[in-house]
Chain A
Amino acid sequence: MKKILVFMMALMVLVANVACAAQTPASESQKEVQQTEPEAQTDDTAEEDEIVIGLAMINHTSPSFVGILEGADEAAADYGCKNIWKSCEGNLDTQIDIVRGFIQQKVDVIMIDSVDVNGLVDVVNEATDAGIDVLGIGSPIPGKANYNATYPNKDDDTFIARFLGNLYKDEQDATIGLIIGTIGNNVSDSRQQAFEATMKNEFPQFNIVTGLGAWDPTTSMTAAADIINANNNIIHMHVIQDGMANGAIKAVQQSGKDITMTSENGDPEGIENVINGNYLMNNLTGNARIGYWFEAICYYIAKGQEMDTTQLLHTYRIMSEEYQQMAKDWEINYNDAGEELDMVTPEEAQKIASAYKQEFGPDVWIPTLTN
């Protein structure tokens, strides 16, 4: 009797999983989800021409990742692609298995948000040898012939550090808090390194205290609260991602101290916080925007478009006109290569963040090729 009950329960779970997978792409982890786009499949020829992209994500829990997925799905519809999503829930071995699964499925392109870029090199090279192109997103994968799409984290966080350093240059014996994601994540590491190095080299008078936010608002709030309580001379808190900043800002507000904040990503609430003065500035990448951009790159890779193997996202510093002028006066609106960095008002950022189809859509954009 017990065995029959167990068998029936297992069957029910299987049926539920299949039902959920058919309806809600992001509802279960480690589960294959097929994104169907009936509008793009008008006849058998269209289906054969459809580009199939395998997406190996880290997880489905973070709202940031969900935003990326939504943008990519929109791009899939516009570009006539078909997405197969899988999440490894932060496990490297699982991600390797997922990539191998995509190789066996003979997808056209594999998009990977790496748990560990070095740990994935072998399997990425396997995919390349099997004739399948790979795009590493966010964190560049050092494979032999894959593509990478990443953000100019060094330029972005160097700018933020220089902005703060100049803004508070008259402060003596001050502490600046920095909330990062996780150690070993390339995006977190590169933003942290750029911020800390700039502060150390150009503004050594500031004490930088770093806390782990673990990409979730609860941990970020705790980390921010501890930093604030441990450092009575804290004047500013920088958080490398809006999702975490949503928690850190509560710690700042509840402390009752005069502490300013900055953040990155340019999520809708992050831009709102610049408008209402809670943040001095933000940095626009945009979750749906980058998801759309990744998908568009995959399309052109599959089509054999000539392009740079490393694609760099164009980012925007979100700040008031007053702060933009100050940045120009301090001459910090250029990166170390002498290229001008774009600065926009929050209202302009809102338009850019939502106009990603016009920015990266079919027939209006192609990946960069420098030579």
Chain B
Amino acid sequence: MEREKNWRIGDLYKGIPLQSLTCIVILVVFIAIVSIVNRSFLDGSNIQSLLTQIAPMGIISIGAAFVIITGGIDFSTGTGLAMAAVFGGVMYQAANNNLFVMVLSCILLGAVLGAVNGAVITILHLQPFIVTLATMSLAQGAALFIAEGRVVFLNDPAITRIGSGNIFGFFPTSFFIFIVVCIIAWILLNRTKMGIYIYAIGGNEEAARFSGIQVERYKFFAFLFAGVCTGLGALITICRIEQVAPNISGTTQLDAIAAAVMGGVSLSGGKGNISGIVLGVFIIGVISTSLTFMKIPVTAQDAIKGMIILGVLLIDSFFNRHVKRIVK
């Protein structure tokens, strides 16, 4: 009885970041609302479809988060995805339909893009905003140049297994790959020196530099990791649609950055965690899918999506401020 008397609301979520808790609540409430409007939302086929859709966006979001946590930004992920995808497809054909070559090519070219971003930003001390805008154009041009306007159709059972296959009879293979990337990213951020330094650089770059941290090295690694994630996102995208074209990136880049920010990654740097990003990815994915289930007219979908995202951010901000006060 004494324990219950002394019980506080903080006991509910000990160990869970407050940001993540509010994201979970928002997600659950939103799913409940959509399910009431259209029961098909919770059908197994839709859950599978949702998990497949969010996988490439989620992987790119993880990479983008690494860069944002250092205080930077990367606008080249969208066109970088197209460039890596086109390069992977071309190499796949050139290597006599060799899947391993395609996988390696996608990831390698994404890494090259990330390395170029990182090198230019750290060596020349230029703003990530400008550099990644430039590499965005470069990647777009490269995608067109490599593709020569062609669409390459991929016909390989292994590609189908990656893009639309399942593990344990339900979980999409692509979502499983996303979870693996999340685990690797969590280990890097929370269990390695690199992660500590990345947060420190984002929190206060000058203080980190005075502390002896090689700021340029870890910023470079952050962009390199983001590039690898872009390449992996490209691979999953082309396996999903089983074709390669220079215009396949869709709105992945914007959704990925929005998911990271919604999951608690601060645009000013130094803040963010993997669990929050995963929740942000789910929220963005659920919002995008729900518009069709709630029969929102197609003319209003973009505006409604924007309003919902804004509403979620406002609710999140409100809870973070006021619940923190209650807990304290």
Contacts and interface: CB of A to CB of B under 8 A. Distances in A.
B204 interface: no
Given A183-B298, A211-B298, A229-B45, A243 B245 contact: yes
A239 B224 CA distance: 38
B298 A27 contact: no
B292 A211 contact: yes
A62 interface: yes
Interface string A227-239: 1011110000000
Contact of A250 (B124, B240, B289, B291): B240
Interface in A192-222: 209-212, 214-219, 221-222
Contact of A5 (B124, B141, B143): B124
Nearest to B43: A229
Interface in B102-140: 120, 124-126, 137, 140
Could you say which interface size class chain A belongs to? 35 or more
Contacts of A226: 49, 289, 291-293
A214 to B, nearest CB: 7
Contacts of B97: none
Nearest to A70: B149
A218 B298 contact: no
B153 A269 contact: yes
A218 to B, nearest CB: 4
Given A61-B247, A183-B299, A269-B151, A221 B240 contact: yes
A354 interface: no
Contacts of A27: 141, 144-145
Interface string B248-270: 11111000000000000000000
A349 interface: no
Interface string A34-57: 000000000000000000000000
Contact of B125 (A2, A221, A254): A2
A51 B289 CA distance: 50
A225 interface: yes
Most buried by A among B40, B120, B241, B247: B247
B151 A214 contact: no
B301 A212 contact: yes
Given A63-B149, A63-B150, A230-B292, A180 B245 contact: no
Contact of B49 (A29, A229, A232): A229
A231 B245 CA distance: 29
B124 A230 contact: no
Interface SS, B side: helix
A218 B250 contact: yes
B246 interface: yes
A231 B293 CA distance: 8
Nearest to B248: A218
A86 B40 CA distance: 46
Given A67-B149, A183-B298, A225-B53, A26 B144 contact: yes
A360 to B, nearest CB: 21
A219 B245 CA distance: 13
A134 B103 CA distance: 47
B247 A212 contact: no
Given A29-B137, A29-B140, A223-B292, A217 B46 contact: no
Given A27-B141, A28-B141, A247-B241, A63 B292 contact: no
A113 B175 CA distance: 39
Contact of B124 (A2, A26, A66, A211): A2
Contact of A227 (B140, B143, B252, B292): B292
B242 interface: yes
Given A26-B149, A227-B292, A230-B38, A217 B245 contact: yes
A231 B46 CA distance: 11
Contacts of B242: 250
Contacts of A180: 298
B240 A215 contact: no
B320 interface: no
B164 interface: yes
B93 interface: no
6 contacts: A9-B120, A61-B143, A216-B250, A226-B292, A230-B38, A246-B243
Given A26-B144, A63-B246, A218-B241, 12 more contacts: A26-B148, A26-B149, A61-B82, A62-B247, A216-B250, A217-B248, A219-B251, A226-B289, A226-B292, A230-B292, A232-B40, A254-B164
Those 5 A-B pairs whose CB atoms lie nearest each other, nearest first: A66-B149, A226-B292, A229-B46, A61-B247, A27-B145
Interface of B: 38, 40-41, 43, 45-46, 49, 52-53, 82, 120, 124-126, 137, 140-141, 143-145, 147-151, 153, 164, 237, 240-243, 245-252, 288-289, 291-293, 295, 297-299, 301
